[in-house]
Structures are given as structure tokens and as C-alpha cells.
Amino acid sequence: DGPSAPGLPASAPAAGAVEAIEDSLRSPRRWQPKQVLVTASAADTPHGRAIVARCEAAGIDRIELLRADRLPPLRGGDERATYALAKATLAVVTSAPSARRLAPIPPSADWRLDLAVGCPAHCQYCYLAGSLAGPPVTRVFADLPDVLSAMDTHVGRGGVTSTSRHRAGEGTTFEVSCYTDPLGIEHLTGSLAATIAHVGTRDWPSPVGLRFTTKFDDVAPLLDLPHAGRTRVRFSVNSAGPAGAERFEGGTARVRERLGALRRLALAGYPVGLTIAPVIPGPGWQDAYGALLDDVASALRDVPDPDLTAEVITHRFTPKSREVLLGWYPRTQLEMDPAQRATKRGKYASIKHVYTPPVMAEVRAWFERELERRLPTARLLYFT
Ligand code: SF4
């Protein structure tokens, strides 16, 4: 594969975009777990066995077939070691019935659909911290047909998001990246490609939209799928470089590599999007995010009529996520000071620390204006 790969136009895009494409073609970011644990029920399923075969082909030596369905406790010598061990572990399990009872997930989608739970990357602001109990093991569901059946029964229900003026026609939407980065583990699971093809090839009684967001770039397995334009792939992006918010992201593809992947998917006819998150308005933030929007425009410059959306999410944390993240990343430079934030109260007395109203208003106005100016094809779905 190379810059002349099928689907790439002959006319040259901007220099930064070419670099990104070459990088993403050469060395997509692939997670290599140190161990894979497979529960007995998972090993009994065709998809579970296919995942084991993929792990063997990837050269993972330590694949343990468990006798039962309980995962052994993962403990290192201290909290750091436990974290490192969990992040280096892929567990192949069957889903709990609760995972197949889909929950509404506004504003992103009508329903949350979990193909896996947990993520191997190391983002210092990870929104999963504090949401998932126990050490951060990545668990993939081997009973994929059951998960997809649960999805099928929800088609035609919900539809709240499609009433948004920018989302007419999407139908019932399913978000598969609430609790994982599905592309980051796809080379070992194949679950995402199977789901995209499932949604793309069935004769649905009403429109259906699949969505996920990712910080990875290994999109080659997705390019030729029969997606039928029903899957929107959003890339989670942030201001790049050593001073940008990207420095808080470990184990992910770099932002410019993600933009190369965005371009390839747009050329393959996928609806695409940006999840600009978490926006951190530190010193010089306007220049940094302006450069990001310009890089996106360069990457898509010669893509004919891209179907592009944007979701803008400012940085926030909860007391629980702060505690977990400071345990995982004790030397982080990320500002998580409740005294500098406003408090937002949600359901069940939950608390979120967000930027103060004047900061939110300034950031919102800037993104609304600059998206319009620098990326006029992008439809802003929401700012939060
Ligand atoms: Fe968390 Fe997403 Fe980073 Fe994974 S890629 S660690 S899910 S923020």
C-alpha cells in the first residue's frame, strides 16, 4: 500500500494531509495486549473462536482459556502495576443481559450498543475513568449475534436524534463507542466490521444509523465494507503538538494520523465527523484549535462533497473520575481543580465540574464562528 492506494485522488492535497495519509498507511496504531483471557462461554462461540484466531495470528503468546466464566482477579503489586496489567489485558467474554438492554444516550444517539467495554489507550482525561468498576481491562463480547439481535429489536424505536435539523434521515441511531474505542481493538476482534456490514446490508423497515468515535487510525479493514452510508465514523481530535491537549493522550494514533484516516473513509463514501474533545481552553487555545480546523479542511480539501459533522465537548470531570485519574496519572499536568470550575448537577445528585458560564459562552461562540468560517461543510450537531 502507498500514497497511490485505490481511492486516493491524483490531485495533490495539502502537504500536511499527504504526510498524514502516508503515515496512516505505513504504520497504523495497533494495540498488542500482553495477555488474552477467554471465558469458557466465550470460547464456545464462533465469534469468540475467531477472536482467539486473530490474537494468535497477531503473535500474542499468552492466550488463556479459562474453565469458567469468571475472570481471575487482576492485581499488580500496587495501583500502578494493577493499572498497567489491566490495560495490557484483553478479556473475551459473553455479554451480561444488562449489556443487551440498550440505554438511550443523548445527544449522541438514540441507543448505546456495546460491542466491548474498556479501552487500551491511556488518555489522562479518559471519560471511562469513574464510569467502569474495577481495573481497566478491555472486555470484548464474543456473543456478537446476540448483541446485534438486541440492536435489531430497537430499530424504529427512539428516533429522537433524527428530529435534529442536521440529522434527518439517520433514523434510529446506535452509538458503539460509549464504553470503548471500537477501532482500537478491531484488528483483534472484527466486531466493528461485522456490525457495519450487518447495518449496511439488511433490509430495514426504517432507517438505521450506526456511529462510533475513535482516536485510532487503522481503517483499512473498513474501507471496502458494504456500509451503505449508514455508519458515521467520527474522529476524536484535539489541538495537536507538544503544547496541545493531544499530549494527554497515550497509546492512540496521533491527531494527524487520525485525519489521514478520516480522509480515507470519506473517500470510501462513509459519512464522517469530528468529535472535538475534550476542548481545553488553555493559553493560545484559539490558535491551536484554529490550526486543527485548518488541518481538517486540508485533509478533506479534494474529497468531493464530504458528509461531515462536528460535535464539540468541553473538558469536564466528576469527583469520582478525578480521583481515579489522579490515581492512574499522579503526575498529570491536566487541570482538574474544582475551584476553577462551575458545578453542574445531574440525575441522582451526580456532580460534574465544567468550565464557568463565561468561559463556556466564549468557547461556544468561537467554535460556532470558526467552524462556519474554516469548515463550512461541517454541520455542528451539539456543543456541550
Ligand atoms: Fe478513554 Fe477514548 Fe482515550 Fe480510550 S481513546 S483511553 S476511551 S479517552
pLDDT at 14: 42
Q: Which residue has the higher pLDDT, 164 or 344?
A: 344
Position 10 pLDDT exceeds 80:
no
Q: If you take atom 3 of ligand 1, which residue's CA is the nearest one?
A: 123
Q: Which residue has the higher pLDDT, 304 or 241?
A: 304
- Say how many Å lie between the CA of residue 180 and the centre of ligand 1: 7
What average pLDDT does the structure give for the chain?
90
181 lines ligand 1 (CB under 6 A): yes
Q: Which atom of ligand 1 is closest in space to residue 214's alpha carbon?
A: 5
Round to whole Å and give the CA distance between 373 and 323: 39
Choose the weakest-confidence range: 12-16, 54-58, 97-101, 352-356: 12-16
ipTM for this prediction = 0.99
- Say how many Å lie between the CA of residue 253 and the centre of ligand 1: 11
- H or E segment to which residue 309 belongs: strand 308-314
The number of C-alpha atoms within 13 Å of 323 and in the hemisphere containing its C-beta is 6
Q: Do the beta carbons of residue 152 and residue 204 sit within 8 Å?
A: no
Round to whole Å and give the CA distance between 60 and 62: 6
121 lines ligand 1 (CB under 6 A): yes
pLDDT at 160: 64
DSSP summary character for residue 101: S
In order of 11, 238, 261, 299, the CA distances from 265 in angstroms are 17, 19, 6, 11
**Sequence-distant (≥ 6) Cβ neighbours of residue 261 within 8 angstroms:** 24, 28, 216, 217, 218, 219, 235, 253
pLDDT at 16: 46
pLDDT at 377: 94
CB atoms within 10 A of CB 217: 29
- H or E segment to which residue 175 belongs: strand 172-175
- Say how many Å lie between the CA of residue 169 and the centre of ligand 1: 29
325 lines ligand 1 (CB under 6 A): no
52 lines ligand 1 (CB under 6 A): no
Tens-place pLDDT, residues 127-155: 888 888 889 999 999 999 999 999 999 99
Kindly state the average pLDDT of the residues 173-189: 97
In order of 9, 58, 86, 329, the CA distances from 66 in angstroms are 49, 20, 17, 31
Q: Do the beta carbons of residue 192 and residue 227 sit within 8 Å?
A: no
Q: Which atom of ligand 1 is closest in space to residue 215's alpha carbon?
A: 5
Tens-place pLDDT, residues 337-360: 999 999 999 877 789 999 999 999
Tens-place pLDDT, residues 286-331: 999 999 999 999 999 999 999 999 999 999 999 999 999 999 999 9
Q: Please, which pLDDT band fits residue 241 given cuts at 50, 70 and 90?
A: confident
pLDDT at 26: 53
Percentage, residues of the chain above pLDDT 70: 91
| Of residues 250, 167, 244, 238, the one with CA closest to residue 208 | 167
Amino acid (one-letter) located at 275: T
Tens-place pLDDT, residues 266-292: 999 999 999 999 999 999 999 999 999
pLDDT at 162: 57
